[in-house]
Structure 1
Amino acid sequence: MKTIYVLVVVDTAGALASRSAIDNAYLVDTNGFLGSWQEGTPVLHTVCEDGDLVCWTVIPIASTGDVSIAGFSGAMLEQGVCRPTLQSSDGNPWLARVESRGQFVAFSYVLTLAVGGVQLSLNAQIKVI
């Protein structure tokens, strides 16, 4: 079992101007080049194994931006595979254990961000191998 760190970097000014996180958020994780795919995009596919911990953190590109993770939803939670919980009062990090119960497939999730008080969402996946 390992801990996989997912970093969400947000262009807060761009997200507020366009009212979209899709073209203004960039996700990467610690799996490296041969692990996950679509890194640096808003639709990261994080590869993990049953029992791994996944830790999500969000930061703004500019030091003056205001962004936090507001929550998670989607199949990943609905199927009980991974249920992130907030670990600190400042909005970072969110942590969850992968509990796929033998299911080796991709589970989608919606990541909701609070950007300057506006909630914006993007879609990503964890893939249990």
Structure 2
Amino acid sequence: MSTINIRIVVDVVGALEADTLAGSLYMIDDNRLGGSRNQATAELATAVAPGDWIIWTLLPIECETHAAVRAIELSPDICELERKTYRDSDVSYWRGKVKQSVGNLPYGLTLELGSRTRTLNNGAHARLIDASLQRSHNA
């Protein structure tokens, strides 16, 4: 069982100006050794195994503009999700526990950027994949 951190980096001003997330969204995780692929793209494939915890955190490039993850679309049979808030702040993150093998599973993200809401296409972007390598707790 591992904890995998996914960072969603978004150029909020660029996305609002262009009225699209294309070219303004980058996703990175810390499980390259476990088989994650497509780092620093909007098509991150995060390698996970049953029992793993995933933590999604949004990092806006422009800190003066509101940005948050509003929803993550994953079946609760596969990943049990909850929205959390860091202690003594209004900054939120999402945490999920992987309950079963995922295969190659696309998932949806809905982001709040300024006063607008943007949803990533559920078939073409971020996804969870089965971990390909044995991971040790010391790695």
TM range (shorter): 0.7 to 0.9
CA–CA separation in structure 1 for the residues paired with 2:91 and 2:72: 13
Structure 1 spans left out of the alignment, 5+ residues: none
Instruction: Provide, for residues 4-57 of structure 1, a one-character-per-residue CA deviation record: whole Å limited to 9, x for no partner.
Output: 000001100011012212321100001136631111111110001111000000
Number of aligned residue pairs: give it.
Answer: 124
Distance 1:33 1:26, change over 3 A: farther
**Counterpart of 2:80?**
83
Structure 2 spans left out of the alignment, 5+ residues: 132-139
Among 125, 128, 131, the alignment partner of 1:126 is 128
1:91-102 equivalences under 5 Å are: 91-100=91-100
Q: Alpha-carbon deviation of 1:91?
A: 4.7
What is the TM-score normalised by the length of structure 1? 0.87
What is the TM-score normalised by the length of structure 2? 0.81
**Counterpart of 1:60?**
60
1:1-129 equivalences under 5 Å are: 1-32=1-32, 35-73=35-73, 76-77=74-75, 80-88=77-85, 90-100=90-100, 103=101, 105-122=103-120, 123-129=125-131
Secondary structure at the aligned position of 2:70 is classed as strand
Off by >4 Å, runs of 4+ in structure 1? none
| Contact 2:83-2:94 within 8 A present in 1 as well | yes
**Counterpart of 2:136?**
none
CA–CA separation in structure 1 for the residues paired with 2:70 and 2:103: 26
CA–CA separation in structure 2 for the residues paired with 1:32 and 1:65: 31
CA–CA separation in structure 2 for the residues paired with 1:22 and 1:58: 16
Larger radius of gyration: 2
- For the aligned residue pairs, the C-alpha RMSD in angstroms reads 1.8
